[in-house]
Chain A
């Protein structure tokens, strides 16, 4: 087997992948991971916006009728999108030691903390949502974005029961 492999190498049938390819792949992976994390933070920011824009979070203090309304008004598509980004990020980073040497639960908790904190920061400290809502109502963004803000401002009934 040694001789076969060595002769294939010397004939040029097998070549080493260059270091440049390796660096490009690493930079590409890092860029995709940062993009995925950025999108997750933005999506989480929209989730918080939806919960606090019309005071939906306090619905949880009204017992079972409040829970039902909370579930009804919760932006589930955004949560599903965030979960898909979590899965994508885990797949992207699967070959790195800090990912596979720790249980999946730690990765999920780390992701939730980072994305949750980032989402709150964007929602509470920047005018990002107001600017996006303004552009959406002027028709400068795709229709689903405008619909999201319309749904976010749809108020729950004054007495949930």
Chain B
């Protein structure tokens, strides 16, 4: 009978422990990393690598060094793991780190018209924070198609919120925590982003005709 406890599996971790790791939530894994279990961090990297690369490719569109930036995200996450609160979603926390790194990369291009003196004007006044129910699947599919085609023509803050909502499936509150803005502002910005995307799609359609 194979020695499942002592045979080395992937990254030196025995297969039976790998099975246990995959059943733990992201938050439980992060908690274990905080307690000193370094190998568990590899599982977190495995879970989020593809997602962050996809997020980065959509957000930064065309940059070859997205892998380097995502690697920096994981390094930063490990260095600051003690700052993570296991009572809150780990995905929001690591996406926040990713957002900071991608924004820093974008600042070199300086094409974010919404920013003004280091804060966004739409975070100043209160907006309703009631999040409507998700649109029907057909509408969401239409939005995802539009996003795939037209993100490069709209502002970065609109592009990011569309990616987080339609492609990464975050809720208003999770997006608020990632972007560090009020939940009401998420709704307003998402609405404006949809309008901008559809307008861009119409312009493209007219251009082809």
Chain A residues in the interface with B (C-beta under 8 A): 1-6, 8-10, 14-19, 22, 94-95, 97, 100-106
Q: Is B67 an interface residue (CB 8 A)?
A: yes
Q: Is B42 an interface residue (CB 8 A)?
A: yes
Q: Which residues of B contact A5 (CB under 8 A)?
A: 41-42, 45, 71, 74-75, 78
Place the interface of chain B in its size category.
20 to 34
Give the nearest-CB partner of B74 in chain A: A5
| Nearest 8 interchain pairs by C-beta | A100-B180, A103-B126, A104-B124, A2-B45, A2-B42, A6-B42, A19-B82, A103-B182
A1 near B125: Cβ-Cβ < 8 Å: no
Given known contacts A94-B180, A104-B123, what 15 new A-B pairs fall within 8 Å (CB)?
Answer: A2-B46, A3-B42, A4-B71, A5-B41, A6-B39, A6-B41, A9-B38, A9-B41, A16-B78, A97-B177, A100-B123, A100-B181, A101-B183, A103-B124, A103-B182
Question: Chain A interface mostly helix, strand, loop or mixed?
Answer: helix
Q: Which of A4, A8, A97, A100 has the most CB of B within 10 A?
A: A100
Q: Which residues of A contact B29 (CB under 8 A)?
A: none
Q: Is B79 an interface residue (CB 8 A)?
A: yes
Within 8 A of A (CB), among B45-102: 45-46, 49, 67, 70-71, 74-75, 78-83
Chain B residues in the interface with A (C-beta under 8 A): 11, 38-39, 41-42, 45-46, 49, 67, 70-71, 74-75, 78-83, 119, 123-127, 176-177, 180-185
Q: Which residues of B contact A97 (CB under 8 A)?
A: 177
Shortest Cβ distance from residue B125 to the other chain A in the assembled complex, whole angstroms: 5
Contact of A16 among B45, B81, B183, B185 (CB under 8 A): B81
